[in-house]
């Protein structure tokens, strides 16, 4: 994986959890609100990571498909 993709995958969850940790340590959030925000943080972080990796995977597959199509056309042109 390229560094830019790693940053895109690691940075958003890190920021989300850093904020949650800071709010929890400062006792701004506690009790049920803390549980709800932490669960929401996990869900949002997972959605962000899934979206980024799915987009990356889709682009990679599309590039491979385009290369295969170009190779097929090149092969067909040689036969003619």
What pLDDT, in 10s, does the model give residues 21-66? 999 999 998 899 999 999 999 999 999 989 988 888 898 899 999 8
* Dihedral-angle region of residue 29 (phi above 0 means left; psi in -120 to 50 means alpha; beta otherwise): beta
For the whole model, what pTM was predicted? 0.68
Domain count, the chain: 1
pLDDT at site 38: 93
State the residue range of the domain holding 12: 3-79
pLDDT at site 35: 93
pLDDT at site 78: 67
pLDDT for residue 75 is more than 90:
no
Longest dimension (CA), the chain: 75
């Amino acid at each position: 994986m390229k560094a830019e993709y790693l940053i895109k995958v690691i940075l958003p969850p890190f920021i989300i959890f850093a904020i949650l940790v800071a709010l929890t340590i400062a006792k701004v959030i506690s009790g049920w609100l803390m549980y709800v925000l932490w669960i929401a943080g996990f869900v949002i972080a997972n959605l962000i990571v899934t979206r980024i990796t799915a987009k990356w995977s889709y682009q990679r597959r599309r590039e491979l498909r385009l290369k295969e199509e170009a190779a097929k056309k090149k092969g067909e042109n040689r036969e003619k």
